[in-house]
Chain A
Amino acid sequence: MAEVLVYVDHVDGAVRKPTLELLTLARRIGEPVAVALGNGAADTAAALAEHGAVKVLTHEASEYADYLVVPKVDALQAAVEAVSPAAVLVPSSAEGKEIAARLALRLGSGIITDAVDLEAGDEGPVATQSVFAASFTTKSRVSKGTPVITVKPNSAAVEAAPAAGAVEALSVTFSEKATGTKVTGRTPRESTGRPELTEAAIVVSGGRGVNGAENFAIIEALADSLGAAVGASRAAVDAGWYPHTNQVGQTGKSVSPQLYIASGISGAIQHRAGMQTSKTIVAINKDAEAPIFDLVDYGVVGDLFDVVPALTEEIKTRKG
Chain B
Amino acid sequence: MSLRIVVTVKYVPDATGDRHFADDLTVDRDDVDGLLSELDEYAVEQALQISENSDDDVEITVLTVGPEDAKDALRKALSMGADKAIHVEDDDIHGTDAIGTSLVLAKAIEKAGYDLVISGMASTDGTMGVVPALLAERLGVPQVTLLSEVSVEDGTVKGRRDGDAASENLEASLPAVVSVTDQSGEARYPSFKGIMAAKKKPVESWDLSDLDIEAEEVGLAGAYTTVDNAAERPARTAGTIVKDEGEGGKQLAEFLAGQKFI
Residues of chain A having any CB pair with chain B under 8 Å: 11, 68-70, 73, 93-95, 97-98, 100-102, 104-106, 109-114, 126, 130-145, 177, 180-189, 196, 198, 202, 226, 244-245, 250-251, 258-259, 269-270, 273, 276, 280-282, 284, 288, 293-303, 306-315, 318-319
Q: Which B residues touch A180, using CB under 8 A?
A: 141-143, 172-173, 176
Find the residue from B161, B223, B225 having the highest chain A CB count within 10 A. Answer: B225
B22: Cβ under 8 A from any A Cβ: no
Query: Are A145 and B252 within 8 A (Cβ)?
Result: no
Query: Are B171 and A310 within 8 A (Cβ)?
Result: no
Contacts A259-B261, A301-B244, A306-B244: A101 and B134 contacting too (C-beta < 8 A)? yes
Interface residues of B in 1-42 (CB under 8 A from A): 15-16, 19-21, 25, 39
Which secondary structure dominates chain A's binding surface? mixed
Interface size on B, residues (CB 8 A): 81
Q: Which B residues touch A196, using CB under 8 A?
A: 164
Q: How far is the CB of A17 from chain B (nearest CB, A)?
A: 13
Chain B residue at smallest Cβ distance from A244: B183
Q: Given the complex of chains A and B, what is the CA–CA distance between A301 and B252 in angstroms?
A: 11
Q: Given the complex of chains A and B, what is the CA–CA distance between A136 and B127 in angstroms?
A: 14
Contacts A284-B252, A306-B248: A301 and B242 contacting too (C-beta < 8 A)? yes
Q: Given the complex of chains A and B, what is the CA–CA distance between A143 and B183 in angstroms?
A: 36
Contacts A105-B138, A136-B230, A282-B252: A181 and B236 contacting too (C-beta < 8 A)? no
Binds A, one of B51-59, B81-89, B94-102, B203-211: B94-102
Q: Given the complex of chains A and B, what is the CA–CA distance between A102 and B139 in angstroms?
A: 12
15 contacts between A and B (CB under 8 A): A93-B164, A105-B102, A111-B98, A113-B129, A136-B230, A141-B225, A145-B224, A183-B170, A184-B158, A258-B261, A259-B256, A280-B259, A301-B241, A309-B249, A315-B262
Q: Which A residues touch B127, using CB under 8 A?
A: 114, 131, 250
Q: Which A residues touch B111, using CB under 8 A?
A: none
Q: How far is the CB of A37 from chain B (nearest CB, A)?
A: 15
Add 10 more A-B contacts to A133-B15, A183-B169, A300-B248 (CB < 8 A): A11-B165, A68-B143, A68-B170, A135-B19, A145-B224, A183-B170, A184-B169, A185-B168, A188-B165, A202-B261
